[in-house]
Every structure is written in C-alpha cells, then in structure tokens.
A and B are shown apart, each in its own frame.
Chain A
C-alpha cells in the first residue's frame, strides 16, 4: 500500500489548503457578483416593470359578507331590514398625507371629534389584522349632499372612498326595540369570545346581534361568508374577479309579534311607563310585547354617540330596561284566580265557602290588622265568585293562612312562577316565588304566617315579570296546558313547533268555577273591571290588581313631585278573551297607574284589535 509509505506533510497540506481556499474565495466572490447582477437586473434594469406590477396589479382575497336575515311580523310587516348606507372610508395605503386629507374632508363633510378618534383607534389598533387595501371607516350614514361634495373633490382626495354597505334598519323605530333588539359593531370582547370558525364568519361583517332576537338568533340571521379573489388596480378598484364563492344569506325570521297589535298596545299605555304582553293561547306565540318607554334601536346600529347613550342610560324612566321580561313586579291581586284554584283543589275552600269581611283580617293572638283594599270591607257572606270579582283581600288572607306557604308555593310553581319562561330572547329574569327554603337561605329567617297572608294577595316577597303573568293567564285559560312563550314562528320556511305540557291538573268543576269568577270580574255587576265590558260584543275574563311600589332600580335622583308620582301603586290586569273559547291572554302593568281599571282598558284595546281586526289568517311573508 503506497499510502502507508507517504508521510503527512503539514507544510504541503497547508499549502494545498491555501490554494484551495483562494479558489473558494474566488468562487464566492464570483457567485456574489452573480447575485448582485441579478439584483441589479431586478432593481435597476427591470425596475419600471416591477414598480408597475407592485402598484397596479394585485390579487386579493376579499370576503363577501352575507346579507343578514330579515325579521317579519306575524302579518308580514318588516321589523328588521337591511338598507344601503354610504360610508366614508380611507385606504391607508393610497392616501398621500393622512393629515391633509382629513383636514380637507372635515371641511367638506361633518366629522365629529368622536368619529375622528374612533377612526384613529381603528387605524392604530385594528381589532384584527387588516387585509391589504382594506378601507378604514371614518363616517357612516353619509347624506346625498355629502356624497356629492366628496365626488366633486375626488381628484383631491386620493385614497378616500365612499362605499355602499347594507346596514341594519328597524323601520318600526322604537316599537320593537326590546324584543327584536338591535345589532351593533362587534367589540373586542365579542371577538375574543368567538371560536376560530365563528371568527372567520365575521370577515367582512362588522356588526353582531347585541340584544333581543338579533342576539338570540345571531347564527341563523348572520348567514355564511363568501370569498372572491380579485385583481385590483392601484386605487383598489376591482379589475376582474378570478374566483368566487358566494355568501349564503342569513335566514329570515317570521315572528308571532303583530305590528298592529304592538302599536295599539304601545299607544294604549298613553305614554305611561309599563309593559304589555299578549300571547296566542293556542301556540304560546307572543303577539305583543311592549315595554314603555322604549328607544330607537337604529341609534345603536352604527354606534351610538356618547351623549345619546348617556341620555338613555341615565333617564329615570329606564327606557333601555325591558320591563316585559326583566321587570320584577309584585303581581297583586292578579294572582288570586290561581290561588283560588289551588284552594279548591286542596279542598280548603269550595264554591260556597264564605268569609266575613269587616275590612281587615287578624291572625289569632296578633294585634296587627291586615287591611282590605276596601276600608269598610266587602260585607258578610263573601264566597269565591265575589271574592274574585270584587278582589276581596280578606277572603284571600284567610285562604292563604289556611293553605300555608308550602301548598301555595307548590301550586304556583306549576304555573311557572319564580322561574324563567324560556322565551327566545336573552336576559330574561326569573322573578321570585318565595318558599320557606328561600327565606331561610336568603333572609336567614323562618317563614311567618304573616308572610303567607301577604303572598295571598300577591304582595310581600313575590315578584313576577309581565311575561310570567301572561304565561300564567294563558295556562289558566287553556285549563292547565302550559305552552312556552316564544317569539319566532318560522325560521326561513320552517315552522317551529310549540312546547306544550299539561302543567296543572284540576277538576273540570274547579276550572269552570275559577274561569266563571274571572268572567265576573269584567261582566259582573260588582266586577272590578266592569268598566271595560261596555259595548263589547265578546266576553272577556280577567283579574285586576294593584301593587304597592317596592321600587325597581330607583337609583336616580328625583324631585319631590316626581317622587310622589313614583310612589303610587302599579296598576295591573291579566285576562283572556273570548271567555268561552280563549284565544288570547294578556298581562298589563301600568307603573304608578294607581287604578287597575287603567290597565284593564289597555287589555280591552288589545282584545278589540286582535279579535275584531287582527284575526285574519296569518299572512305569509311575501317577497
């Protein structure tokens, strides 16, 4: 092996290496020259070509926002639609000097400091990473004149665009604000709560349902986003569409809510604070749901100004508060028919059982007098029918005392008191239907007989929402069948089914007794709501009530006169019609209305509207 004989010659190896290193160095220099030549070609020789390419032709993926589903009323009235609206936006990439463009724009159109601040926020801290050439909105809802002014000055306004967008519009203004709700611009917190899949859906959409049905049915109303791949020029104008996936529009909703009925109910409240709920007994569909005062939901769609929001939020009339599902009111005497049924079923009372009413009731061995609303009392032999018709408190003190809290609680439970009805709008409150356990846990006190007496006339701890009262009345009117209240009748073409359960079992005789006594309230000689029976060509049944004010969210400052007004009793009425074949159940609360007949009148107007004019067959949504 010749190599064994070779010696390792370090000097020679270093020499070889040195030569090779020089070759490598030359190679490196040569190749770097090649790279430089290449860069020179691209950046100097073909510079024009690439600048043009970089400026002019760009391929972008643009999201195509879906059209939000429309919301119709029972008879096809539009409750929520999408209207084109013009938005002034700026494309940061194209605008030369942002400052001078903004200065010029402010001379042309009205841009408030708030709007300017919002614009800078969107520019500096985008909620999500901006796509290239994505315009940043500056002013929404441009007027015709403003659009014209911008168009005339277009040559001075590079990078300023006026875009037509579909913006949610509520044509019924304040009429449905509380139940249809509104959409608003999606905020940081909402973005964070979205899953990645949901997040993708909001590409190209910047609004989201905030309250009411708009929130509840957000996913259905939203639809699915589409995409298109487009080639645009330097001004961001689309030259051609390369590829397109169409968006799927959101589903339309048809509601049970009847705009005409709603309008009537709202008007019938006559500007007073209060709530009205009307339900179709056969389906559980909510025909009207009014919470007054209300507000214009359109204010919220493109962002409400701070001033407007403050005015709404700080108003002592609480317009933002949905009384129909969030207001907890003592039900007062409106509970009496239900309690009477409970007493009958428990065999504590019967048709002929009567009490003597001197105007007050006393527990044995107690000094305290539990007063009747009528100072001198209702007389000697008050039996069930008249106890309901005249709303005799003493009769119910007696009944409540003998029935006891546990039986009262369990019976009221069956009518859904103290729990959410499960209606399909968010933020419903459960009210309060007290029990021994509740009082022990929350108040740390045992249940006293006096508590039962108060509960017997719907006062004390009891709190109900108007919707609960309407639902209870519907259950009474359908002899124990409970149907979950719901607003949405149809999603797209699909009719939703009702959730009906036989909630209350009672003998036919007892049902008749209670229902007859409720009819007596309206049509009886001494009925508390007899004033509304005049000129009616159908028969009604109901129960009036007045409730002492316990103060719901009275956190604002009032002057003394207003305070006095707000200390007055709430007026309540629950009822259904026609008495012999109930179709509609109603609950009305007029805050500080004092006289329950005031509430009964509202109910009468609703009965009239529904039974005389509104019972046309449900109209199909036409489009």
Chain B
C-alpha cells in the first residue's frame, strides 16, 4: 500500500547539515521555546499567588506540577520521532481504552465522570488522549499521499470522532472541543481541500438545530444561553461571567496592583485560581498585563509554528502543527469565555491556571515539539 518514499533534497536541510550539533541540540532542548515557557510559567505563578488568596498551598502544589511538567517535557524531547510514529496507534488505542474505562468505573466531581484511580493515583484519561489524538492523526496522515483523499479523510474523522464522543459522554464539552480541534487541524495542515472545508462548514450550520435539540445537555445549553444574556440570572449561571467581566473591566489599563484586585481578593470571583485566573491578571495588572501575557503566548505559538514548518517529515509537521494550534485553542477558548465572548466550557488558561494534569500534558506536548525541532537532519539523497 505505502509507496517507497521519494525523497527530494531540501535547500535548508543541506545547509543545516554543515553545522555541528550544539549542546542544546544534543540534549534536545529548543532554547527559544524553553525561554518562552519559563517566562510564562513564572508569570503564571505570580498571578496564581494573588488569585489563591496569598496562600502558599496552591503555589507549592503548582510548583511541584510545573517541575513535574518540565521533567515530562525533557523526557518527551528525548524520543526519536520514528519511534513515536510507530507507537502512536498503540498509544491512541490505550487512551481510548482508558476513556471507555472512565465511563464504566470513573469517579467525578460536580456531576461529571472524568477521573480514573489506579493504585491510589488519580488522573484524567482525557489528558492522555489530548496528545494521543494529534499523534494518531499525524501518524496516519503522515504516511499517506497528501492532500488526503476522501477515504483518508473519513478514517481521520473516525480517529478524531471516537474519543470526542467518549469525552462528550463524561460529559466534558470543553475537553471534547479541544480534542476535536486538535485532530481536525491535523487534517487542515495535511492539506485538506477547500471544497471539503466549505462543505463541512455548511453541514455544521445545518446541523446546529438538531445538535441543540438532541445532543447538548441542559447545563451546556444553559451555559450558551447565559453567555448571550448573563444578566438574566445574576446569582446563578450568570454570576461567573458578570463577576469576571467586572473584574477585568475594573482593572483598566494599568490594573489595581498585584494582590489588590478587589473582585478576586474578596472572593467575588469564582474559581479564581483555575479557569478564571485571567480575570485576576486583568484586574490586578490591567490591559498591559494581559498584553504582556498574550505577547508571551504569541512568541510560543510563533516558535511552535516555525518548528512545524521546518520539520522534516509530514508526521513531524502535522504533529507540531496540531500541538501548537491546540495550545492556541486553549488560550482563545479560555480568554474568550472569561471575557464573555464564548460560553463557559471549562478550559484552563494553559500553563497559568492551577491544575496538575493539564500542565503536565501541555509541557509534554512542548517536549514533543522540542524533539521535532532538535531532530538530527536526515542525510538526503
């Protein structure tokens, strides 16, 4: 089925070959990316300290998570891409299996089943699948002739669809959206033809009504309704959005100063240390603070795309693209929901919000990016 690769020499590749390998490349660290991530996590800790009510508890936990995350990142960076490509299907199947297990025997918080305990160790399998889906898509499409044919598109959609549906069942709208996005962008990077894209867009518009009617849960509908009219339910569902908008708005350009945000310090803001942490940042550091954060994010995103564009194989490119774009989806959905642009779907602000598993997954993803960026160039024909 798979054709023998037909290699063509690429101009940059041969140029790179002449350079001796540096120390950073030997230990598989992409320095600009690492600097960006360090800046981001440090900034995040400062905001978290204020958001958690000046208590050391969350800071200590978060520091442990961040350290674990960097260890995971460093470890992931050491993998050979060919090895990852080969093992992707198994990783994916394992992840899907765990998701199925969650539905059967998982435990949850606030009425949702998301956690799995194995030997006293609790984790969310949906985090594992966040990496497994892009890897599977990339590894599937990476060996096909691109742009993908209709059959390959259908298979890819199934690869993405299965875990998405399983997570929707938990139910966790935010994560399933993230996973769908991370897989579908892989198709886009692979060169999905525009006619399919336009067709899908049309189909999505048409299916909106039945989705609303039959698929979405009541509380999910409630969130969407609340987004459009938060004033309707001031103390209930709209509370979070009103309070976060108030926090952000009252921060102004310069902010109220670190640890001086009245909204966040006075517990008006719910979940101020997790999903709504950007509101604390915006209240205390103002628009300038948020711009600084966005700047760091943009730098990381730019570096990610650059790594993707310079990668050597389709698998590497698509995987790097997927990881980078997923990171952006996190940012956009989180800030969008906190500022009242999008419904509240429970997506953390990446690498800033308190929370262990998401942090480790994200940094592991960046570890893969580093593996891609520091891979030894193949000698071309």
| A240 to B190 CA separation, bound complex (whole angstroms) | 60
Asked if B287 contacts A10 (CB within 8 A), the reply is no
Q: How close is A21's CB to chain B, nearest CB, in angstroms?
A: 5
A6 interface contact, C-beta 8 A:
yes
Please count the residue pairs between chain A and chain B whose beta carbons lie under 8 angstroms apart in the complex: 156
Asked if A50 contacts B248 (CB within 8 A), the reply is yes
Q: How close is A27's CB to chain B, nearest CB, in angstroms?
A: 9
Those of A21-51 within 8 Å (CB) of chain B: 21, 24-25, 28-29, 31-32, 34-36, 38-40, 42-44, 46-47, 49-51
0/1 string, B181-203, CB within 8 A of A gives 1? 00001001111000000000000
Using Cβ atoms and an 8 Å threshold, which residues of chain B touch A59? 234-235
Query: Which residue of chain A is the closest to B142 with respect to CB atoms?
Result: A13
| A28 to B249 CA separation, bound complex (whole angstroms) | 24
B109 interface contact, C-beta 8 A:
no
| A253 to B300 CA separation, bound complex (whole angstroms) | 70
Asked if B253 contacts A13 (CB within 8 A), the reply is no
Asked if B185 contacts A24 (CB within 8 A), the reply is yes
Q: How close is A85's CB to chain B, nearest CB, in angstroms?
A: 28
| A9 to B3 CA separation, bound complex (whole angstroms) | 11
B146 interface contact, C-beta 8 A:
yes
Asked if B252 contacts A43 (CB within 8 A), the reply is yes
| A283 to B163 CA separation, bound complex (whole angstroms) | 75
B282 interface contact, C-beta 8 A:
yes
Asked if B262 contacts A93 (CB within 8 A), the reply is yes
| A12 to B191 CA separation, bound complex (whole angstroms) | 10
Q: How close is B156's CB to chain A, nearest CB, in angstroms?
A: 15
Using Cβ atoms and an 8 Å threshold, which residues of chain B touch A619? none
B318 interface contact, C-beta 8 A:
yes
Query: Which residue of chain A is the closest to B250 with respect to CB atoms?
Result: A54
Contacts A43-B249, A93-B262 given: A17-B309 contact, CB under 8 Å?
yes
B222 interface contact, C-beta 8 A:
no
Query: Which residue of chain B is the closest to A29 with respect to CB atoms?
Result: B298
Those of B264-319 within 8 Å (CB) of chain A: 266-268, 282, 286-287, 290-291, 294, 297-298, 301-302, 305, 308-309, 313-314, 317-318
* Option from B149, B190, B253, B331 in Cβ contact (under 8 Å) with A44: B253
Contacts A10-B6, A35-B335 given: A21-B248 contact, CB under 8 Å?
no
* Option from A16, A24, A34, A242 in Cβ contact (under 8 Å) with B147: A16
Q: Is the interface of B mostly helix, strand, loop or mixed?
A: helix
| A238 to B294 CA separation, bound complex (whole angstroms) | 39
Asked if A21 contacts B308 (CB within 8 A), the reply is yes
Contacts A24-B185, A25-B302, A25-B305 given: A35-B332 contact, CB under 8 Å?
yes
Name the interface size band of chain A: 35 or more
> Taking each of A9, A24, A34, which has the highest tally of chain B beta carbons within 10 Å of its own beta carbon?
A24
Contacts A3-B145, A51-B252 given: A24-B53 contact, CB under 8 Å?
no
* Option from B188, B313, B332 in Cβ contact (under 8 Å) with A31: B332
A128 interface contact, C-beta 8 A:
no
B110 interface contact, C-beta 8 A:
no
Stretch at the interface among A129-137, A177-185, A416-424: A129-137
Using Cβ atoms and an 8 Å threshold, which residues of chain B touch A50? 245-246, 248-250
0/1 string, B326-357, CB within 8 A of A gives 1? 00100110011001110000000000000000
Asked if A21 contacts B305 (CB within 8 A), the reply is yes
Using Cβ atoms and an 8 Å threshold, which residues of chain B touch A3? 145, 149
Asked if B253 contacts A7 (CB within 8 A), the reply is no
Asked if A42 contacts B314 (CB within 8 A), the reply is no
Those of A88-132 within 8 Å (CB) of chain B: 93, 129, 131-132
| A14 to B145 CA separation, bound complex (whole angstroms) | 12
A173 interface contact, C-beta 8 A:
no
Using Cβ atoms and an 8 Å threshold, which residues of chain A touch B145? 3, 6-9
Contacts A16-B146, A39-B290 given: A132-B268 contact, CB under 8 Å?
yes
B230 interface contact, C-beta 8 A:
no
Asked if B332 contacts A40 (CB within 8 A), the reply is no
Asked if B262 contacts A11 (CB within 8 A), the reply is no
Chain B residues engaging chain A, CB cutoff 8 angstroms: 1, 3, 5-8, 10, 53, 143-147, 149, 185, 188-191, 234-235, 245-253, 262-263, 266-268, 282, 286-287, 290-291, 294, 297-298, 301-302, 305, 308-309, 313-314, 317-318, 321, 325, 328, 331-332, 335-336, 339-341
21 A-B pairs, CB-CB below 8 angstroms? A6-B145, A7-B6, A8-B6, A8-B145, A13-B191, A16-B147, A16-B190, A16-B191, A17-B189, A17-B317, A17-B318, A20-B188, A38-B336, A42-B248, A42-B282, A43-B282, A47-B253, A50-B249, A53-B249, A54-B247, A93-B262
